[in-house]
């Protein structure tokens, strides 16, 4: 397995069979990797108003940035 690009980490998830099938098909027709599609979906999730309120309430972005400084 090749090393991760700088600023990237691996994450293993378990998802529904129908979701992985759809991801594989989207990957094939768009020419994008599954990782790219999931990454984009997570970025969209993080900017949702309800999720952003939780991130702001608990100051989670500052904690992430603090951990990146190590």
What are the tens digits of pLDDT across the range 24-44?
999 999 999 999 999 999 999
The yes-or-no verdict on residue 58 having pLDDT over 90 is yes
Please report whether residue 4 resides in a domain. Answer: no
Provide the pLDDT for residue 3. Answer: 84
The yes-or-no verdict on residue 60 having pLDDT over 50 is yes
Query: Domain containing 58: what range?
Result: 17-68
Number of domains the chain is built from: 1
Tokens for 58, please give them.
């608990």
The proportion of the chain whose per-residue pLDDT surpasses 70, expressed as a percent, equals 89
Please report whether residue 32 resides in a domain. Answer: yes
Does the pTM exceed 0.85? no
Judged by DSSP in three states, 48 sits in coil
Please report whether residue 10 resides in a domain. Answer: no
DSSP letters of 1-36?
-PPPPTT---------HHHHHHHHHHHHHHT--HHH
Provide the pLDDT for residue 68. Answer: 63
């Amino acid at each position: 397995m090749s090393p991760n690009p700088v600023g990237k980490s691996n994450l293993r998830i378990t998802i529904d069979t129908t979701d992985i099938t759809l991801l594989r098909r989207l990957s094939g027709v768009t020419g994008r990797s599954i990782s790219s599609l999931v990454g984009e979906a997570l970025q969209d999730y993080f900017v949702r108003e309800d999720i952003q309120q939780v991130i702001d309430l608990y100051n989670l972005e500052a904690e992430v940035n603090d951990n990146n400084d190590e």
